[in-house]
Structure formats: C-alpha cells, structure tokens
Structure 1
Amino acid sequence: MALLQLILSPSSSSPPHQPSINPSTSAPTTLNPNWKLLFGPPLVFRSLLSRRFQRLSSLRCSASSFPENHHTNQPKFDDVVELPLFPLPLVLFPGAILPLQIFEFRYRIMMHTLLQTDLRFGVIYSDAVTGTADVGCVGEVVKHERLVDDRFFLICKGQERFRVTSIVRTKPYLVAEVNWLEDRPSGNEDLEELANDVEGYMKDVIRLSNRLNGKPEKEAHDLRRNLFPTPFSFFVGSTFEGAPREQQVLLELEDTATRLKREKETLKNTLNYLTAASAVNDVFPSS
C-alpha cells in the first residue's frame, strides 16, 4: 500500500510535553495498526492520510452533537477528578472514534467496573522513547461486545481533554487525578478564515494524493460539515495517523488558532512535497 508523506515544519520535530507517567505495565491492544508505521528521514513522517480521508464519515462528529463547547455534560474545568487510564501508542482526539480490543486481565477488570459506572476512561499516549504523556483525552464507550473468553471489543468516542496531576494508584490498572483542559480564547484571530484555509489545503492534499496513487482526482467537498473551528482542528489532527508525537503536540495545545496554524503549515508542506512528486511522476512515469 502506498504511503503518503507529510512534511513537518522544523518546529514540529518534538512535542512540548514532559512525560510524567511511566507505567511498567503494557497497554491494551488497539485494532488500528497504523502506529507501527516506520518513520522516514528527519522531519518527515509517513501517514495513511489517503486511506483516512476515504473514511472521513467514521470519524465525523456532527455540529449538532459536537459544538464549540462539545460535550453536553461537560464537567467544570476547575474540577479535579479521578480517572482510570489506558496508555496507548496512539492519540485520541475529541470527537474521534477509536476501536479497541481488551484482553489483558487488568483491563478486563477495569471494563467490568466501567460497565457499571459511566463508561468513561482516559486514553493517554505512551511509547518507549518519550514515556507516557501527561495530557490525554477521555474515551466514552458507545458500543461494546463481551466475548465468551471475557475479552471485550469496544467502540469509543473522544470527549474532553485532561491533564494528569497525580497518580492515585498503578494496580491493577492506572488511576490518576486529572484536571480538564479547554482552549483559551484566540484573541483577534479569525478562526473561520483559518479553518477554511486548512480545509482548502486538505482538499488539495487529497486530490494530489489520489493522483499519485492512480485514483480519480475527485474533489473533496465540505470536509468541515459545519464544524466549529475548535472541533474541526481536532478532526484535522485525528487524520495525521502515523505521526502520534505530532498529534500529541496538537492535542496539548490550548489555543485553537495555534493548532490550526500548525496544521495549516504541515498540510502546506505536504502539498509542496506532493506537487513536486507529481511533477517528477509526470516526467518519469515509470518511477
């Protein structure tokens, strides 16, 4: 399968967070294998964007269910609450859909508890290099299937973001105290204009990606689907599969304008790369 390259700006090379949680336990297995993609040269990451864009509907959060203040039962953001955590080698964004398979005993215990409570847990990025991040996203179980061997298949939807303030316990699974995060006002920034610019670059990236992959250059219409700028910025971040550290940076940003600008720069660099690749392909079709 052909992989699309996204070109990161120099400022995108490392995430701003300092890992604060280092559980020795292994994470549950996710059904999405894209995090295993190999990375290319410095400042370049590979992503299955073309595949992801073909199934936008699976990640789409409608404007009616995910407005600017996206969760109808949104907690007070000065609250400190306890939250069970799933460390995973991927990043969950508000509004995104995440399928999971739960088979480890400790996480099956957690699932039994969640099914009797509010079905909400924290998904937090973790890898062997950077450790475990201190900012994550709540995953709410919207569908589940319990198998005869007590494994679980879950479909989760991202809700509000959180920052870990302290670890309450590590056994049988991680539980942490967290504060909720929300974006600060973006001042005089024109968020609508920024969101429209990002949407435009996404459409061009999709078109050229399809061309390079030998697919029809169909125009991608209305990627925003009436999303407000903040949830749209999370949606864009969720499409950057294969680059979890960059996704973590986007998740941690607390300013919608800054997030959209960073995404715009990444998509712009990617478009420049695809344009050059397309030109080479026109001259040397066999390559």
Structure 2
Amino acid sequence: MALPQLVPSSPSGLSCKPSLNPSSSLSPNHGRISRSSSPQPQEPPRTKTLASLRRRKPNLLRCSASSFSEKHHTGSPKSDDLVELPLFPLPLVLFPGAILPLQIFEFRYRMMMHTLLQTDLRFGVIYSDSATGTAEVGCVGEVVKHERLVDDRFFLICKGQERFRVTNLVRTKPYLVAQVTWLEDRPSGDGQDDLEALANEVETHMKDVIRLSNRLNGKPEKEAQDLRRNLFPTPFSFFVGSTFEGAPREQQALLELEDTATRLKREKETLRNTLNYLTAASAVKDVFPSS
C-alpha cells in the first residue's frame, strides 16, 4: 500500500506521502560497511569520528508505506557493546524493520558484499549528503535476499535491524569500517497506556492524510485499514518515520531520538500540519475545480 503525497503546513514546509521504497539503483560516492563478528579487545585506534549531522528542517516531506515486521523488537544487543561494522553511507535513512532494496556495482562495495556473504550479512546504513556530511547514528541492514549477476553486480533486499552510533573509524579503504555502540530507546515517563493512545492518534492522523491525499489526486477516498498491524508503539514509531520519504534530514532526526513518546509526538505534529495543508488544498479545489 502506497500512501499519497502530502504537504505539511508547518513552518518548515514539510510534505508527506507514506511509502518506503528507496531507489533500487544507488551509486553513492561514500563508504559502506562490513562487520567483524568478534571485536578486538585492544584500545580503539585514534581515528576521527564521523561528522555529526547538522539538522536542518526539510523543505519537503513525503510519506510512503514500508514493510515492517509485525513483531520487531529493538534493543536485542546490549547498548554498551562495542563492535566493528562495515558502513554504507547513502542519501537515505533506514529504520528498524524497514525493507531496503539496493543495487551494488561499485568495486569496493562488491568487495564488501563478498565478505558479508561469507560472514553474517550485516552492515551499517548511515545517512550522508554533501550539505550535512555523514551522520553518527545509523541502522544495521541485514541482507535477507541477494542475487549475484554475471558482471559481479549484486541486487540486495535488506531489512533494518538495530540502530547504532559511530564512535571511531577503524579504516576508510577499501570501504568504511567503524566501531559502533548500539542505540535503544530509554524508558519514557509516559506509561504504556499513554504510548498506546499516542500511537493510535498518530495512526488516525495517517489515515486522514491518506484519505485527503487520495481525494486531491482523484482516487477513491477509501479509509486506510490497520496501519499499525499489531506493532508496539516503538516499532510503530519507526514505521511512521520511514513513511516520510523525501525528507531524509527529518527522518534522521527521528532515527536519532531515544524516546518513543517524543518520536511519536513529533510525527503526530508533522502529520497534523500535513492534514491542515491538505484540508486547505481540498477546500481550494472545491471552489476552483479546474485549478
């Protein structure tokens, strides 16, 4: 199910269209990852950390629906674990539970894939662009399907797993490898009942946004059914963030948050602004049908 394009009317000028399907043909000029299953006990090398993401509000936000595990739970590794992970910088944000198709054809990343296919199939996806540099927080991508072509290219289907924070770069060639620690949401002051209520409000806003977007695009105004799909509030908050396709800096800010309630509240505000925009646009269309 793909959600229609939306445009929030917040000061940041967000716009939203639920569906997480990053381009299947990507050729980033950045590093990618490779993970060592048994981290070395020696002191980490004194290497510079990745530049912090400078958060700037996006001019456009799209929401689009992504595939999430119904019972995805975060935080399985201990947050103080220190591991080495191959990194794949991309101009997009991967969330836990989301599905990411990739095409690998650069030589260094083909090398990385040969290593991963013989080990644990996990690498780090981390947001990077020319304006903000490379973020410090990313998400592990696990290869769940792959196809190797005769010219040694790879088609991959990856699934988002744990979040991580980069602490040090171990090496930069032939691809990036970094030491990372795991990131998980901290216990919130909001009780479970409050989180459930908040998640339900976010789902309601998403349904309204889909309905109005369909109307503006001349599609039947069918009500979206069960967007939560039995997801608990934390994985649902990641699902909602993944739908804001087209606004990677906003998505990165959501990924970095360590509180489920805060993430849901921010998403609720974005969706509410989107709904206000669409309501106004729908009213204009009613008055000026040809515009």
TM bucket normalised to smaller: 0.7 to 0.9
> Aligned in 2, Cα 1:156/1:43: closer, same or farther, shift over 3 Å?
closer
Partner of 1:107: 109
Partner of 2:289: 285
Partner of 1:274: 278
Q: Deviations over 1:198-239 (max 9, x none)?
A: 000000000000000000000101100110000000000000
Show the 5 A alignment for 1:107-126: 107-126=109-128
CA–CA separation in structure 2 for the residues paired with 1:7 and 1:225: 28
Contact 1:86 1:174 in 2 (8 A): yes
Q: Deviations over 1:58-87 (max 9, x none)?
A: 513212xx1xx347xx22221000000000
CA–CA separation in structure 2 for the residues paired with 1:44 and 1:170: 32
- Which amino acid in 1 is paired with 2:137? V
CA–CA separation in structure 2 for the residues paired with 1:9 and 1:164: 31
Local SS of the residue matching 1:209 = helix
2:68 to 60, 67, 91: 60
2:253 to 225, 249, 260: 249
> Aligned in 2, Cα 1:194/1:11: closer, same or farther, shift over 3 Å?
farther
Q: Counting helix residues as a fraction of each chain, which structure ranks higher? A: 1
TM-score (norm: length of structure 2): 0.81
> Aligned in 2, Cα 1:26/1:224: closer, same or farther, shift over 3 Å?
same
Local SS of the residue matching 2:7 = strand
Partner of 1:138: 140
- Which amino acid in 2 is paired with 1:281? K
Contact 1:99 1:154 in 2 (8 A): yes
2:89 to 77, 87, 90: 87
Contact 1:28 1:104 in 2 (8 A): no
RMSD: 2.0
Report the Cα offset of residue 3 of structure 1. 4.5
Q: Does structure 1 residue 174 correspond to structure 2 residue 182?
A: no
Report the Cα offset of residue 44 of structure 1. 3.8
Q: Deviations over 1:11-52 (max 9, x none)?
A: 99xxxxxxxxxxxx81489xxxxxxxxxxxx864142x3xx3
- Which amino acid in 2 is paired with 1:26? N
Contact 1:123 1:137 in 2 (8 A): yes
Unaligned runs of 5+ in 2: 15-27, 33-56
Contact 2:5 2:213 in 1 (8 A): no
Partner of 1:97: 99
Local SS of the residue matching 1:5 = coil
Partner of 2:228: 224
Partner of 2:53: none
Q: Deviations over 1:151-170 (max 9, x none)?
A: 00000000000000000000
Q: Does structure 1 residue 214 correspond to structure 2 residue 229?
A: no
Contact 2:61 2:244 in 1 (8 A): no
Unaligned runs of 5+ in 1: 13-24, 30-41
Report the Cα offset of residue 7 of structure 1. 3.6
CA–CA separation in structure 2 for the residues paired with 1:188 and 1:257: 7
Local SS of the residue matching 1:207 = helix
2:204 to 200, 204, 213: 200
> Aligned in 2, Cα 1:8/1:136: closer, same or farther, shift over 3 Å?
farther
2:29 to 15, 26, 31: 26
- Which amino acid in 2 is paired with 1:228? F
Show the 5 A alignment for 1:229-240: 229-240=233-244
Partner of 2:51: none
> Aligned in 2, Cα 1:45/1:97: closer, same or farther, shift over 3 Å?
same
CA–CA separation in structure 2 for the residues paired with 1:9 and 1:79: 40
Identity of aligned residues (%): 78
Q: How many residues align?
A: 249
CA–CA separation in structure 1 for the residues paired with 2:253 and 2:153: 32
CA–CA separation in structure 1 for the residues paired with 2:78 and 2:68: 25
